[in-house]
Chains A and B, each alone.
Chain A
């Protein structure tokens, strides 16, 4: 069966060296699908769960009627002509580092299916379970053996879908400032030391003899051996444990990211990427970081936006300082936007016809706004993009062809992002 799998593994996708631009990349890969020399890059996906209010953050409409305009004022940014919300001053000062896409629009204004849509770039289906972004990277761009490829903080919502459970993320609890950080299955708890762990492992190695001489017999035997060694490497390696160890950060760095969950999570994301983890999903559960502002939209955003502002700014700065921003694709979005009209409870309800997304790092040309919504931020005018297009752009920025094809277990070919095309203007050369 092993070779049947290879036979079905239709695609070997090429990527490219650093200097190549996206359109160059797309051109090259259209012809040279076997090119192995090109590099993929790491990525962070920041999911702002609940549906962040686009017109109160990145697409303000100061001229709209008061029941639409809301309570916030726009402020100028580093980029002339570009304005964002007054409660995002630090991001405003870094507007050249990211691109805002204002004309994202879809029609799944329900948390369950909307989240699935944004987390996979494909509309949810009854017959195919699509993988989330990190699982694709887990398959296409594995990290070194003593590191996990894909870390999700916290629990993954969608999972690896048709790619299979071997591409599930290593999931962790969110780090909380002032508490020792533990990673399920990776941290050594209750006084367990590396030395002790090593002695257990050596006992195991001596006792695990039933299949000695038959290690190559079957996939399952081989797989158990391989993953057992890798798990041991990860758990016992300094590299992984120190990547997860936030206590190694000094207090000014803690301060810079913010001593709240979101800040600590992004700080950890940065550490993981620096250590060589290839993909991190940051998804704070609504209980802690809830953008679903059906009521009291403005007072809640006054609390939500400052930590977002601080932490995201710190992430961009830190990666930039360490020359990693150009090799890390960043994508932040929620599942939809919110209604133009403010409701009687001072909130805004679900609204998928307009929403914003933010992209940075890699080949993204910062300092630009893509697309525009109408006077009440209800609909894009002219060009509009879908979550599929966002996903395609994100994959392209990572160096993975969004039109590559996989095979589901039932042998059905599935295109990675079926209905999306990369938004070309996002990338530096256009």
Chain B
């Protein structure tokens, strides 16, 4: 691999609460345009587009809709300044009026409509003589100038083709329907037979494996025309039958007219905006409320690349992340609505900033007694673990008191499920209870980390994150082929070997990222790249971002990301890295030199023969990478707490900040310092007091679900339930086999085979078909309850329980047995604790009522697996 040059030319957009050196700040637009007459001239990017955004004009429900609204379309959430400007400047189709009349601004539609001086389906957006009104008037009378692009030739070549109205008409009435009806089946949507797609003019020009499909102006030279004429035996399209002569001549005419294609259907490379926002400053840095109804005004200042600063409070958009804690109005006035903590999010241009909002829990004022009681229960453990230090700092800020330490049995069950996807067995519970040593929990953690079930469960998770799906590997059809299963299993095993050997996480990812696609003899894992769902470079880009960076780029495929800084340009650039890596290609090296913006971190220069994935891998493992290690650390955390520090864990956006940034920073930095040692990470998290807290709330933390002041009960995952049902009903001498034979476990090799089966669907095992951690669903449902209560599979497990029949045989053989001991076993097997006296009594009562011991035990087992205590990890 040749070297490539990396230059850090792009400034990372920073969002900061610090006001910089005392610089002159341009006053807000509301002040500048308070009067009708002013010398100030509004700027399209800085004022007009943000104003349209704030007024809701470019939202999906209004003119931001892809169909536009009443013939007027703006780019969704703004940021396509050229398109927006030309849309505003274009003549309104339905009327004899212009949207803009520079000679008579008051008569411009963009004034008349939103002030409701003429009918406007969107109603009144601002008042006459308001600053908004003045701003728009002033912009119009000053010439309604748009954003000048730095790009000297911003528009793609196609636009230079003069398209006559006749050409457009021909395209819309004849050519487009013809393409849709006769070509799309094989060359449209997600299909590209022969490498050809006919969705855009560029795609036709680019052509497929036989070369360019059209030569504009020259039908005779155009492959498309030759094909539809059926003139050669080699290429006859469409294959289902020759087109009508009229249709063929339409196509010939269209090519002769240089193949006109409407501009709005061109997927143009967007020119960069003309000015760059460097920082979005905000005040205050943090909001601390004390009572309902407390209010506070937020101020927002934009800093541009040329050093200019402007108060943009009146042009920004505001959003609350939890309206039960704080509400915010459109002018940035925050009002406290409840206890807890969340963020207010500010949007302006492509800047997004989040302001922490806290209101301490009131009930904490008079809880000294609780503090006392709790602190008694926590054994002194010498130095405080950093995790606990960061978590406790946040708790004390919020007036939250952490729940008491979990009991030994609670801890054992919880950590066994979270770390190994497996319930403990009776003798393990007893041994742990009788162990009197003070370090028994950390020794248990280390023991679990050495089990094959740890590697299996976390390989299964890594397969979730990376999209290892038998269906998607082999075909687009819904049914996985045998080859799909085989490959998915290889993928799983490849990860399993590395997790078991505790290979550093970055090396594991490198094995996937840089997998050699040209040969089968490789150490890497190539199937990540060859999935059928990665049809286009864009799909690959989204998949890489989701799997390894925990970020969702898909919004930016079609419009500016509404909650993130990503624009279509960023997304298009990132996609270009993967142009040579579509699933069918084997040679990934690029053919010509190009400079690409890598998610605004740097410009990467790629030369011929470079593997474009390598600079991405190098960047990911750079210790300053903002997402790579962080995303993984956070996902592992979420695996133990049911909620991420950033949650959802695959939504790292400035609008979704971590609930405890210091904690996430510490975990990330230490994980990297420790050489991406995954077991180290698990050990830290599970070894913390924070993880070992009881789910039982105290008076302060009932409603806390994001600061880890207690454990959150969560339904055990699909695979774990399936395996657990087997385990709790197995005879004592089969327990080891049931627990360790990964080939027969849903959380092991069976994971791939079982995806899509009834039980797995009911309990929300992900199909790994889309890029979203939300695919795994842990919420309880009606069908799950129906399943656990009465599904044939559950009834069968009970009816065929080798443990119950073992007990039955013992009784039949005349051996003495103690009902209480059997009851104890049921408890140890299912809820992994000893039963209380009243539970034993109730059970004895039931056993005495049933006709046979088998029936009684089966009832008891049925009842226990239907308890919340069994179904939840707590």
Q: How far is the CA of A105 from the CA of B177 in the complex (A)?
A: 11
On chain B, the residues within 8 Å of A111 by CB distance are 477
Query: Which chain B residue shows the least CB distance to A231?
Result: B785
Query: Is A206 part of the contact surface with B, judged by Cβ < 8 Å?
Result: yes
* Other A-B pairs beyond A113-B476, A127-B770, A207-B842, 10, CB < 8 Å: A107-B185, A112-B477, A126-B535, A126-B539, A129-B769, A168-B781, A190-B795, A208-B867, A210-B874, A227-B780
On chain B, the residues within 8 Å of A228 by CB distance are 785, 789, 866
- Please name 19 pairs of A and B residues whose Cβ atoms are closer than 8 Å in the assembled complex, sorted by A: A107-B180, A109-B185, A113-B189, A126-B539, A164-B777, A168-B762, A197-B790, A207-B842, A210-B867, A211-B713, A220-B780, A221-B872, A224-B868, A230-B785, A232-B785, A232-B789, A234-B786, A410-B552, A410-B648
Interface magnitude class on chain B = 35 or more
On chain A, the residues within 8 Å of B872 by CB distance are 211, 220-221, 224
Query: Is A188 part of the contact surface with B, judged by Cβ < 8 Å?
Result: yes
User: B188, B758, B868: which contacts A208 (Cβ < 8 A)?
Assistant: B868
Q: List which B468-502 residues lie within 8 A (CB) of chain A.
A: 476-478
Contact in complex: A184, B184 (CB < 8 Å): no
Query: Is B582 part of the contact surface with A, judged by Cβ < 8 Å?
Result: no
Contact in complex: A189, B789 (CB < 8 Å): no
Q: List which A201-242 residues lie within 8 A (CB) of chain B.
A: 203-204, 206-211, 214, 217-221, 223-228, 230-232, 234-235
Query: Which chain A residue shows the least CB distance to B831?
Result: A210
**Which of the 9-residue segments A1-9, A18-26, A83-91, A272-280 touches chain B?**
A1-9
Contact in complex: A165, B563 (CB < 8 Å): no
On chain B, the residues within 8 Å of A352 by CB distance are 185
Q: How far is the CA of A171 from the CA of B781 in the complex (A)?
A: 14
On chain B, the residues within 8 Å of A411 by CB distance are 563, 651
Q: How far is the CA of A246 from the CA of B785 in the complex (A)?
A: 25
Chain A nearest CB from B542 CB (Å) reads 7
Chain A nearest CB from B189 CB (Å) reads 7
Contact in complex: A165, B779 (CB < 8 Å): yes
**Which of the 9-residue segments B134-142, B317-325, B670-678 touches chain A?**
B317-325
Chain B nearest CB from A115 CB (Å) reads 8
User: A7, A108, A185, A410: which contacts B790 (Cβ < 8 A)?
Assistant: A185
User: B322, B323, B795: which contacts A189 (Cβ < 8 A)?
Assistant: B795
Q: How far is the CA of A107 from the CA of B787 in the complex (A)?
A: 39
Residues of B with Cβ closer than 8 Å to A?
60, 180-181, 184-185, 188-190, 240-241, 321-324, 476-478, 533, 535, 539, 542, 552, 554-555, 557, 563, 648, 651, 695-697, 702, 705-706, 712-715, 758, 761-762, 764, 769-772, 774, 777-787, 789-792, 795, 799, 831, 839, 842-843, 846, 849, 859-860, 862-864, 866-869, 871-872, 874
On chain B, the residues within 8 Å of A1 by CB distance are 705-706
Contact in complex: A127, B554 (CB < 8 Å): yes
On chain B, the residues within 8 Å of A129 by CB distance are 769-770
On chain B, the residues within 8 Å of A219 by CB distance are 779
Contact in complex: A218, B762 (CB < 8 Å): no
On chain A, the residues within 8 Å of B715 by CB distance are 220, 224
Q: How far is the CA of A141 from the CA of B345 in the complex (A)?
A: 35
On chain B, the residues within 8 Å of A353 by CB distance are 181
User: A200, A230, A234: which contacts B863 (Cβ < 8 A)?
Assistant: A200
A230 with B782, Cβ < 8 A, contacts A3-B324, A128-B770 known? yes
Chain A nearest CB from B122 CB (Å) reads 13
Query: Which chain B residue shows the least CB distance to A168?
Result: B783
On chain B, the residues within 8 Å of A341 by CB distance are 240-241
Chain A nearest CB from B662 CB (Å) reads 22
Most chain A CB within 10 A, of B323, B651, B713, B771, is at: B713
Contact in complex: B762, A165 (CB < 8 Å): yes
On chain A, the residues within 8 Å of B790 by CB distance are 185-186, 188, 197, 231, 235
The 3 closest A-B pairs by CB, nearest first: A409-B774, A231-B785, A223-B780
On chain A, the residues within 8 Å of B789 by CB distance are 185, 228, 231-232, 235
Chain B nearest CB from A160 CB (Å) reads 9
A148 with B782, Cβ < 8 A, contacts A107-B184, A157-B478, A185-B791 known? yes
Chain B nearest CB from A243 CB (Å) reads 15
Chain A nearest CB from B76 CB (Å) reads 11
A166 with B772, Cβ < 8 A, contacts A208-B869, A220-B715, A235-B790 known? no
On chain B, the residues within 8 Å of A7 by CB distance are 322-323
Chain B nearest CB from A201 CB (Å) reads 8
Interface magnitude class on chain A = 35 or more
Query: Which chain B residue shows the least CB distance to A205?
Result: B863
Q: How far is the CA of A341 from the CA of B769 in the complex (A)?
A: 36
Contact in complex: A203, B868 (CB < 8 Å): no
Contact in complex: A221, B868 (CB < 8 Å): yes
Q: List which A155-196 residues lie within 8 A (CB) of chain B.
A: 155, 157, 159, 164-166, 168, 170-171, 184-186, 188-190, 192
Most chain B CB within 10 A, of A165, A170, A208, is at: A165
Q: How far is the CA of A208 from the CA of B871 in the complex (A)?
A: 11
On chain B, the residues within 8 Å of A217 by CB distance are 695, 697, 702, 713
Chain B nearest CB from A21 CB (Å) reads 23
Q: List which A391-410 residues lie within 8 A (CB) of chain B.
A: 408-410
Contact in complex: A184, B792 (CB < 8 Å): yes
On chain A, the residues within 8 Å of B842 by CB distance are 203, 206-207
Query: Which chain A residue shows the least CB distance to B59?
Result: A413
Chain B nearest CB from A238 CB (Å) reads 16
On chain A, the residues within 8 Å of B791 by CB distance are 184-185
User: B712, B787, B839, B869: which contacts A185 (Cβ < 8 A)?
Assistant: B787
Contact in complex: A204, B787 (CB < 8 Å): no
Query: Is A339 part of the contact surface with B, judged by Cβ < 8 Å?
Result: yes
A224 with B871, Cβ < 8 A, contacts A165-B781, A190-B795 known? yes
User: B476, B648, B778, B799: which contacts A190 (Cβ < 8 A)?
Assistant: B799
On chain B, the residues within 8 Å of A128 by CB distance are 770
Query: Which chain B residue shows the least CB distance to A353?
Result: B181
On chain B, the residues within 8 Å of A164 by CB distance are 777, 779
Q: How far is the CA of A225 from the CA of B714 in the complex (A)?
A: 13
Q: How far is the CA of A170 from the CA of B787 in the complex (A)?
A: 10
Query: Which chain B residue shows the least CB distance to A167?
Result: B781
Q: How far is the CA of A189 from the CA of B794 in the complex (A)?
A: 12
Chain B nearest CB from A422 CB (Å) reads 16
Query: Is A412 part of the contact surface with B, judged by Cβ < 8 Å?
Result: yes
Contact in complex: A3, B782 (CB < 8 Å): no
Query: Which chain B residue shows the least CB distance to A212?
Result: B868
User: B555, B713, B758, B761: which contacts A165 (Cβ < 8 A)?
Assistant: B761
On chain A, the residues within 8 Å of B713 by CB distance are 211, 217-218, 220-221
User: A155, A192, A208: which contacts B866 (Cβ < 8 A)?
Assistant: A208
Chain B nearest CB from A380 CB (Å) reads 10
A410 with B772, Cβ < 8 A, contacts A165-B764, A207-B839 known? yes
Chain B nearest CB from A81 CB (Å) reads 28
Query: Which chain B residue shows the least CB distance to A207?
Result: B863
On chain A, the residues within 8 Å of B761 by CB distance are 159, 165, 168
Query: Which chain B residue shows the least CB distance to A197?
Result: B790
Q: How far is the CA of A129 from the CA of B872 in the complex (A)?
A: 28
Query: Which chain B residue shows the least CB distance to A225?
Result: B868
User: A126, A190, A206: which contacts B533 (Cβ < 8 A)?
Assistant: A126
Q: Mark contacts of A358-391 with chain B using CB atoms, 8 A cut-off: 1 yes-contact digit, 0 otherwise.
A: 0000000000000000000001000000000000
User: A157, A200, A227: which contacts B859 (Cβ < 8 A)?
Assistant: A200
Chain A nearest CB from B124 CB (Å) reads 17
Q: How far is the CA of A109 from the CA of B478 in the complex (A)?
A: 15
On chain A, the residues within 8 Å of B782 by CB distance are 148, 166, 170, 227, 230-231, 234
Chain A nearest CB from B257 CB (Å) reads 24
